[in-house]
Amino acid sequence: MSRFIPATRLNGDLHHIQDGLQIRVGLLDEVVLSSENVHVRWYNWNSGITQRRYVRDGWCGGIFLLRGQLFVKLPDNDSILLTNEGDYAIYGGVSSVVYQVEKDSIILSVRWKSNYEGRPRNGNVENRDNHKQWIIGSFIDKTVEEEKHFFSENFELKWGLINDVPFHKIGKTITNINNYDWKTMGIIIRGSMLYEFTEFATTSDQHQDKNVSHHLEKPGSFLYWHPNAPHTCSTEEPTLLISLRWRD
């Protein structure tokens, strides 16, 4: 079960690092993002159930399978079967979709503002590695028919599959972050991730070093921060981490 919680009021443990900068941790079973430009839900559905969901005008909807099996049934009797981790269905210009759950399933459902009204698209994210595993965002060429359904100016999604371990990613400096004012969330699907925040700006644009770390280990656990502060990521085991960035 889940409930709507505006992105600016995410629940979970709150850690104030410095003026205006927030970090929150929790479980997505308790959180649904509902902001001006994006909606994100984490579903844990039992086999045999049927769910209908509605799509707003001017929005694009998508569903990413994390575990299980289900049919995505669209108008005009179109039906898409999702069976493998990373299978997705993207649709725009429809009023509603029906999910028929064939096996116990965990799903990440996203909606973002978009003018996409082409035919529904489906595939697997592992076949989309043109942008360093970022698959939704403004970097998508919306003039390309096979790509434009993943275009968004205000929302980005990364399917971060890490098999080469140990993994350690060095963070950017504050001056090299282009989307500093965006909100960010990392979600563990399997494996683990250690986040370490080592540098951030004050309201006077000065720099100060401080170490703040959070270790995500349980599937569905998340780390949320705003603004997009410099940080490092590391893990010792194969990991799947979904990263979201958005602005209101």
How do residues 173-193 score in pLDDT, each as one tens digit? 777 788 888 999 999 999 999
Beta bridge partners of 40: 33, 110
Alpha-helical (H) ranges within the chain are none
Domains of the chain: 1-31+154-248 (2.60.120.10), 38-152 (2.60.120.10)
**Is-contact 247 183, C-beta < 8 A?**
yes
How do residues 215-247 score in pLDDT, each as one tens digit? 999 999 999 998 888 889 999 999 999 999 998
User: In this predicted structure, what is the pLDDT of residue 128?
Assistant: 79
> Measured in Å, how far apart are the chain's first and last C-alpha atoms?
25
User: In this predicted structure, what is the pLDDT of residue 9?
Assistant: 47
User: In this predicted structure, what is the pLDDT of residue 15?
Assistant: 58
Q: Tokens in use for 114?
A: 């978009």
User: In this predicted structure, what is the pLDDT of residue 2?
Assistant: 33
Q: Tokens in use for 225?
A: 């921060």
Q: Which residues of the chain have pLDDT under 50?
A: 1-9, 201-204, 207, 209
Instruction: Tokens 């629940």: give the residue.
Output: 11
Q: Tokens in use for 29?
A: 């079973």
Q: Which residues contact 233 (CB under 8 A, 6 or more apart)?
A: 167, 168, 169, 171, 186, 193, 194, 195, 196, 241
User: In this predicted structure, what is the pLDDT of residue 176?
Assistant: 77
Write out the E strands in 31-92.
33-34, 38-45, 50-54, 59-73, 79-82, 87-92
